[in-house]
Each structure stands twice: as C-alpha cells, then as structure tokens.
Amino acid sequence: MKQELSNQYYLESAPMKKAIFHLSVPMMIGMSVGTVYNVINAYFIGLLHNTGMLTAITLGLPIFTVLMAFGNVFGVGGGTFVTRLAGEKDTEKGKRIAGYTFYASIIAGIVIAILALLAINPLTRLLGADAATFDYTKTYALTMFAGGFAIVLNFALEQLVRAEGASKESMYGIFISTALSLIFDPLFILILGWHVAGAALAMCLANLGSALYYLYYLEKRSQNLRGFLKHFRISLQDKLEIYKVGISELLQCAFLIVTTLLLNNYSIQYGENVVAGFGVALRIVQIPEFLSMGLFLGLIPLFAFNYASRNSARLMSGIKYSFAYIASIAVVFVSLVYVFRGPILHLFSSDSSVISMGTYILAAMLISALFNGFTGLFMSIFQATGQGAQAGIMAVTQGVLYIPVIIVLHYFFGLHGVIWSMTVTEVTTSLLGVILFLGFNRKLGKLGSVDDPEGVAPVASV
C-alpha cells in the first residue's frame, strides 16, 4: 500500500521539484529507451540484406503510428478524466471510466483490424508499395493489423497507469516491451525465418507483454483503480468527456502522416542528399523533443489532479517549473549542438554534400526545437484539464498550418522554403498556444485555490 499512497502524495502535496523528479524523470528515461525500440526491427531485418524487406517495414511505419494514436484517444482521454476524478475523490466513477477505456480500446483494435483486412490491397498501395515491395509490405501490414489490438491496448493502459502518477511503472512497461523485442525479433526474423511477418509479430507481442504488465499493476496494485475490469458501461456524457480530449491525439496522428508525406515529396525533388540531410537533422533534434516529451507527459497527472481538486496555486507552480525546465533543456541542447555541429553530423555521414545540407537544415531544426517543447506542454495542459476545444485547436493548427506554409514557401523560396517551413509552423503554433494559455490562465483565477506551501505568482507572469 505504501507505493500506491506515495504516488498520490506526489500529485497532491510533495514539494514541486521532488514531485517533478518522481513523475517526469522515469518518463524521460522511458522515452529515451523507446527510441532504441523503434530501430530494433529495422536492425534485424537489415541483417537479411534484403532491400525490399527493409523498405516494407519502413513503409509500414504509419500503421504503428495510427494504432498508437487510437490507443492514446482512449488513454489520454480516459486517463486525464480518471485523474480529475481522483482529484474530486470520486474513485468509483474513475473505475468505470478505466473499465470503459480498457474494453473500448480492445474493440477499437479489432474493428480497425477487420476494416484493414477488408481493404488490405488498396491500403498497401496507399502506403507507397510498388511491384517489388508489394508482397512484403502486404504481409507486414496484415500481421500488424491482426495483432494491432495489443498496440492500441498497450498505449491506452499506459496512460491509465500514469493517470495516478505511477511513472516508474510506466517506465517498467516500456522496458518490458523493449526487452521482449530484443528476444522476439532475432527469434522470429532470423531463427524461424518469418522475415517481415516476424518483425510485425514481434512488435505486437512486445506491446502485449507490456500491456499485461500494466493490467496486472492496475488490477492488483493500483490504489484507486483495483476492480476496474468489472466495469464497462458509462454515460454518453462521460464518453464525450473522454473523446473531446482524446480526439486531439488522432488529429495529431493524421496530420503527422500528411506532413511527413509532404516533406518527403518536396525534399526528394532536390536530391537524395537533401532527404538524407533532413533525416540526420530530424534524428538529432529528436533528443530534446523526447526529453521534453517525457517531462510534460509525466506531469499530466499532476496538472489534472490539482485542476480537479481546485488547487490552482499548486497547478500554477507545476506549470511554472515545467516552463523553466523545458526552456533549460532546449537552450542547453541547442547551444551544445550548434557548437559541435560538425563532429555530430560526421557521426551520421561522411558524404560532404549530406553534411553541408545537413548543417543548413539543422540550423532551422534547432530554432524549431526551441519552441517544440512549449507546444507540447500547452497541449498537455489543455488535455489534463479537460480543455478539449483548446487541445483540438492546437492539434489542428500544428498539422493543417504546415500544408499551406510548405506550399507557399516552396513556391516563393524553393528549397529554402521547404527547409524553413517546419520552423515557421512550429513557432506559429507555439505562439497560438501562448494566446490560448493566457485565456486558460484567466479561467484558473476563477477556480479558487487551496493553500500551497510554495505559493507562486500567476502563470502568465512566467
């Protein structure tokens, strides 16, 4: 019982720096380990020296993104709702919401699989497969969709675990899926010779393994959610409360796929060195993005709990520290990478044209990195506090705005426009987040406040 009680202590009354360390550091570690998980499949398929197979699993990446997004629709929507209910001391309703999240995510995974299997040929072509890669891509897609319910369930349950501040348990689940991948990938791909089907099956089973761990934690060790599996039925109003927040995850996923396709389409016109330059620069700036992501994802339960319990002073304190830490991560990282940009780029390529182009692209990406963490933080605050409209506006803007920006900038400035289009979009979205947040901050003033030992100024002054 001591472990479960400590999680709520960090949400409710622990000193803010101590709470952030407990909630966010495990998530930051987990996100970093997750980057390794993303390349394991490609590494073992690469050992087969079959370009068609390697291309197939690359083309199939959007499948995982879509399944993850559906899991987050239920996980983010249901998880933040559960945390707000905990802040209101309504744990019984929280169990019903968690039960619905569990069963709905499984049903969604099965429905997605059925629809995908009925349209597998056009879907395979939509992924970009040509005659040489069609069969491999189709096999990979079939296996991914067939076992995709495990991916949807895993991401939904992870959010429920984090909903009560159990960041270490969330991290353990990521470790489990990574370890299982390291076991299943060589077994299925190399030893059993299942190739792309083995890669997809390994990914599904790895997600199932971590989902089972999360299920065990929630049903046996969670203070607030034990017994949640007995529940499924909730009111229409409660369903809308879940979806109004969760839908922003699906919108982000859809727009991410569209923006990736647009960027690839425009950059390939200027040669492989441009595509490779983007690939290198994006991988480098992923480091602060994942660190910032781990920080604000870990703090979503703290935001939700204190918003629901009307402790606006503690909520403001958490947001203030989040801004400071994300700014520190961005500034320190950008400064270090800019100073050592030459040696860093040489780690990825020895081609002088790739390094030259990568240096230019990296400059634009580093400016974008200064704003990216704040965009994610604003989104997390809105999701945690049930501000579905603001979260939706941020998600739509981040995706939709990129389309006219890259088209217009490419038309007027060519390659330079393509390179700077992502930076322009990120800066604009972040500034929109500031505007929406200022309105939300005024709303917080009407909440009333429970005394907070740290006493802070209004967030707008940060």
Write the DSSP string, 361-388: HHHHHHHHHHHHHHHHHHHHHHHHTT-H
* Inter-residue contact 200 to 140 (CB < 8 Å): yes
- Label residue 128 left, alpha or beta by phi (over 0 means left) and psi (-120 to 50 means alpha): left
Q: What local confidence, expressed as pLDDT, does residue 22 receive?
A: 87
**Per the structure block, which two tokens stand in for 269?**
């016109």
Query: What's the token pair of residue 343?
Result: 């040696």
The DSSP secondary-structure symbol of 427 reads H
What pLDDT is attached to residue 290? 80
Which residues are CB-contacts of 1 (< 8 A; sequence separation ≥ 6)?
Answer: 223
Spans in the chain with pLDDT lower than 50: 1-5, 449-462
pLDDT at 428: 94
pLDDT in tens, 344-369: 777 766 778 878 888 888 889 889 88
Tokens of 394: 């941020």
Query: What gap in Å lies between CA 327 and CA 324, rounded to an integer?
Result: 5
Helix (H, G, I), strand (E, B) or coil at 119: coil
SS3 127: coil
Q: Which amino acid is at 211?
A: A
Query: pTM of the predicted model, to two decimals?
Result: 0.78
Locate 82 and state its tokens. Answer: 């559960």
**Integer Cα distance of 345 and 261 in angstroms:** 24
| 123-127 long-range Cβ contacts below 8 angstroms, 24+ apart | 127/59, 127/60, 127/62, 127/63
Half-sphere exposure of 213 (CA within 13 A, CB side): 20
pLDDT score at 41:
74
Find all residues with CB under 8 Å of 389, minimum gap 6, and list them: 244
